[in-house]
Amino acid sequence: MRIALIYDCLYPNTVGGAERWYRDLGEQLNRTHRVTYVTRRQWGDEGPRTEFETVAVSPGGDLYTRAGRRRIGPPLRFGWGVFWHLLRHAGRYDAVHTASFPYFSVLGAALALRLRRSRAMLIVDWHELWARDYWLSYLGPVGGRIGLAVQALCLRLPDHSFTFSRLVEGRLLAARPGAAVTRLTGEYAGASLEDVDPGPAPGPSVVFAGRHIHEKHVTAIPPAIAAARRELPDLDCAILGEGPETEALRRQVRELGLEGAIDVRGRVELSEVSATIAAAGCLVSPSEREGYGQVIVEAAALGTPAIVVAGPENAAVELVAPGVNGFLADSRDPEVLGALIVAALRGGEELRRTTRQWYAEHRTGLSLRHSLEVVESVYASLQAAKP
């Protein structure tokens, strides 16, 4: 099959769970199909360095404001670029597989395929599907209602949808009863404990790995570390990644006098991410919004329990069995998070053993390979059903 894979970010030029999913998906599908990755330009003279054909349909640039919110200009330009690309080249593709977000690419793809009367299937991945209250809190009463309306329109367009959590699957089917929806359970193709040498047994240490944007709440970590250090005075922490919140995070560390305890390391190679997680006593994820939570799976694969903050937009809670491979916090309050950090670290080798066991029991379903097999079976059935 000839597949257009559409997402406005390309790993590792930009870093995140969805970026890794689409890079892995493109590389895997390209082994048996012909993949064209449609994205923004995020590279210089060195080119995109991909195994599959890569086409830039809009310029690069910052996706986020200084406050950490998504800019409106880049997704509009990208949606327009997707529209024009498919208007010219729709005949090249048997399937157009796009991320739902940013929604303008879904609208552009659907309009171009309709104008061209293309037989290509439109397949949409829904990592997230925001509730009305979250739209209003994120963009305000006017912008939130517009965003909600665009999301509702996009729900009506796919021939088939993929989701990555029970949370999103339930919302999608409630909004569009009878829709063709398949929930994928795995995105992970990274290292497991047998692939990484974590060194000696973990000491009292914590790790965070992810983008430093408002929704990830990385600034909730230093106060929690300060609270936990009252019980574990030797506790240290490595914070990996970067983003609009990084400077605020560094200031916070200085203000709390934790320069010697918290290492704000920045963006590092994937091998260092894996080694740091494997060597930590626990991973902390204070995020308010996750469509899947790949870093939780990665931590479990490396034998490291995770602490996740529960919330109505956080599907990562589905990946935590409390007391088995981590804990769920009911708030980001420093005392709450600090107490769970202490509990995780005092759980010691027994908690790490049950974390490894949890991953072993769920490993097949959590794998990228499993999801790819499901994706390809859906492609085959949709292709067979075409008149």
260 and 307 housed in the same domain? yes
Question: What pLDDT, on the 0 to 100 scale, is given for residue 234?
Answer: 94
Question: Phi, psi at residue 182, to the nearest 5°?
Answer: -125, 125
For residue range 88-100, what is the model confidence (pLDDT) as tens digits? 999 999 999 999 9
216 and 358 housed in the same domain? yes
Question: What pLDDT, on the 0 to 100 scale, is given for residue 72?
Answer: 82
Q: Is 225 helix (H, G, I), strand (E, B) or coil?
A: helix
DSSP letter, residue 188:
B
316 and 231 housed in the same domain? yes
Low-confidence ranges of the chain (pLDDT < 50): none
Question: What pLDDT, on the 0 to 100 scale, is given for residue 309?
Answer: 98
175 and 248 housed in the same domain? no
**Residue 78 vs residues 19, 70, 159, 317: alpha-carbon distances, Å:** 16, 13, 22, 32
280 and 163 housed in the same domain? no
Range of the domain at 22: 2-188+368-385
Question: What pLDDT, on the 0 to 100 scale, is given for residue 67?
Answer: 65
Largest CA distance in the chain: 68
Question: What pLDDT, on the 0 to 100 scale, is given for residue 123?
Answer: 96
289 and 377 housed in the same domain? no
Spatial separation of the C-alpha atoms in residues 325 and 303, rounded to whole Å: 8
96 and 208 housed in the same domain? no
56 and 202 housed in the same domain? no
155 and 203 housed in the same domain? no
Question: What pLDDT, on the 0 to 100 scale, is given for residue 68?
Answer: 63
Token reading at 57: 């349909």
Concatenated DSSP letters for 268-303? --HHHHHHHHHHSSEEEE--SEESS-HHHHHHHHTT
Question: What pLDDT, on the 0 to 100 scale, is given for residue 18?
Answer: 84
Per the structure, how many domains does the chain have?
Answer: 2
Domain harbouring 337, CATH code: 3.40.50.2000
Provide the whole-model pTM: 0.89
Question: What pLDDT, on the 0 to 100 scale, is given for residue 1?
Answer: 87
149 and 201 housed in the same domain? no
338 and 221 housed in the same domain? yes
381 and 297 housed in the same domain? no
